[in-house]
Amino acid sequence: MNEKMRAHVVVSGRVQGVFFRSQTQEKAQQSGVSGWVKNLAEGRVEAVFEGERAKVEQMVKWAKKGPSGAIVNDLNLV
């Protein structure tokens, strides 16, 4: 059975101005994961991933690294 889950993350580091949001959206759509992603005023990125557990876990793992050009210092599950 495909267990569903939701992950709410806040990513800090050099994550704005490096296409983090757009590449996160693209990766999620390709993976069949829904949710949202947005920049926060203080320079972090916040995202919610929803879908099959394995796919959501892959998105969280990807967000810990981010796209090339990003430098992720920390990822917190909220």
Catalytic positions are 21, 39
H or E stretch covering 62: helix 53-63
Contact 49, 19 (CB under 8 A): no
**If you ran DSSP here, which 8-state letter would residue 19 be given?**
S
Let me know the angle formed at the C-alpha of 30 by 46 and 63, rounded to the nearest 5 degrees: 30
